[in-house]
A and B are shown apart, each in its own frame.
Chain A
């Protein structure tokens, strides 16, 4: 089961992802990020503090946006990963390709928003 909610500010959108992102549920994460990009947000925060599990399907969603975000100059920051979930990003070295920080404060700092 995946739980996704979004909170929009003038400057940025925060997508909160909870539960489990697998081959069955990753499509919802994909659709939510796609919406944020289509809505024209240049700053996207992904709050993963409630995320208990991610499989390759979920990692694939994040990877599939790397190029588009670069081209459109959109800044996306992931924060709040539990150790066991962060480790899954590390297995393939995705922690080097995505912006991942510890907490919301650091994410906001990186995006330069209040």
Chain B
């Protein structure tokens, strides 16, 4: 099954995006704790795009799709037309650096990395795509 959701680039929309993803995961039998983590990962990617790629411009939008596959993996794609994210340039910060410098950037992606099984960034049909894969067999 494939589900789609489109949201304007306002941080107010994050709550609706989380609700959309949580409802789907719960419908597909995931527990509260399991769903919570995966919702968090999707929220982090969407928040990054809304704030950093689109500067919270509500005239712009991001699209989220969720696909439940037969092999019990679930694929989340977050698509937009903003500035592409360069994964090669991302260096995970250390917690001590974040505490010392008070710069909070990078924590979100740290969480996504630990929650999801695979993260890919690529461009397709004029879209930037962030593809997150979660294997619920694990």
Residues of A within 8 A of B (CB): 1, 20, 22-24, 53, 55-57, 59-61, 63-64, 66-67, 83-85, 87-88, 91-94, 97
Contact = CB atoms under 8 A, between A and B. Distances in A.
Given A88-B111, A91-B115, A93-B95, A67 B100 contact: yes
Contact of A55 (B44, B100, B102): B44
Contacts of B43: 22-23, 55
Nearest to B106: A56
Contacts of B71: none
Contacts of B111: 55-56, 88, 91-92
Contact of A84 (B12, B14, B33, B107): B33
A24 B14 contact: yes
Contacts of A92: 95, 107, 110-111, 114
16 contacts: A22-B18, A22-B47, A23-B50, A24-B12, A55-B40, A55-B108, A56-B47, A56-B111, A57-B108, A63-B99, A63-B102, A63-B107, A66-B99, A87-B37, A92-B107, A93-B95
B102 A23 contact: no
Mostly helix, strand, loop or mixed at chain A's interface?
A: helix
Given A84-B32, A92-B107, A22 B15 contact: yes
Given A22-B47, A67-B99, A84-B32, A56 B18 contact: no
Contacts of A87: 33, 36-37
A23 B108 CA distance: 10
A104 to B, nearest CB: 24
B58 interface: no
A83 B11 contact: no
Nearest to B37: A87
A56 B12 contact: no
A57 B104 contact: yes
Contact of A63 (B11, B47, B95): B95
A97 B14 contact: no
A55 B51 CA distance: 14
Interface in B79-138: 95, 98-100, 102, 104, 107-108, 110-111, 114-115
Contact of A56 (B95, B102, B104): B104
Contacts of B32: 84
